[in-house]
Amino acid sequence: MKNPFRTTWIVLLLRAAAIALSGCLAGLLVNAARPAGLPLVLRTVTCPGVPLEWWAYLIHGQTLQPAAALWKQREAVFVDARDHTDYIYSHIPGALELPYHDYDRASMTIHPLLLHDDPLVVYGDGQPCGLALRVAKRLQQIGMHKVMILDGGFPAWEQAGLPVQRGHQRGSVGVTP
């Protein structure tokens, strides 16, 4: 009489693989069918977690001097994506505090203040594919269509000797037409 445990183990593993495979196929099919599916290969989109459609609309590489000009002329709303303690320690004067790690709570205050046509400059800690990109992505999802990411983030701004503000004073909203 054959040992049923031995044969069942092989079947067990094959069936587990089949269940996993069915999940894989479902995931790939749904991702291909949904409008904002994630690219499976990072080529045009160089950061994970960003659908191609959103990547195309993000204005990348807002370099320091043009961003500083926008800031001086109040032609863009600056958004700080770093954590609260970093914002309190130092931030770009007038920047809104919208920390990625506390986004859901902070956005309840910030979202109603933004107009969809407002140009936004989002900055973070300077990491590529970091906090600024994630907050920019969320802002795009609520319909903001002029979202820029500051190259180098706050460290680049500070190192360039541009103005910074310390302490609790919050940012102001509003773009001078």
Partner 1 sequence: MTRTGRWSLAWWLNLALRLVIAAVFLYAAVDKIAHPDRFADIVSDYQLLPAFLVNPFAVIMPWVEVALGVWLVVGAWTPSAALLASGMTVMFMAAIVAALAIGAGDLHCGCFTTSQEGRSEAWGLLVRDAFLLAATVWLLVRSYRAEARTAMAAPEGEADAEGE
Both structure tokens of 112:
């109603």
Out of 10, 35, 44, 48, the only residue in the binding site for partner 1 (CB under 8 A) is: 48
Does residue 41 interact with partner 1 by CB under 8 A? yes
Does position 33 interact with partner 1 (CB under 8 A)? The reply is: no
Is 111 a binding residue for partner 1 by CB under 8 A? The answer is: no
Strands 96-97 and 147-150: unpaired
Q: Using the rule CB under 8 A, is 85 a contact of partner 1?
A: no
Per DSSP, the residues of 84-135 read: HHHHHH-B-TT-EE--GGGHHHHHHHHGGG--TT--EEEE-SS-TTSHHHHH
Residue 108 binds to partner 1 (criterion: CB under 8 A): no
Number of residues that bind partner 1 (CB under 8 A): 43
Can you give the length of the chain in residues?
A: 177
Cα separation, 20 vs 81, whole angstroms: 37
The count of other CB atoms within 10 Å of the CB of residue 52 is 13
**Ranges within 116-135 binding partner 1 (CB under 8 A):** 129, 134
The yes or no reply on residue 11 touching partner 1 (CB under 8 A) is yes
β-pair partners for 77 = 120
44 binds partner 1 (CB under 8 A): no
List residues near partner 1 by CB under 8 A: 4-5, 7-8, 11-16, 18-20, 22-24, 26-28, 30-31, 36-42, 47-51, 54, 100-105, 129, 134, 137
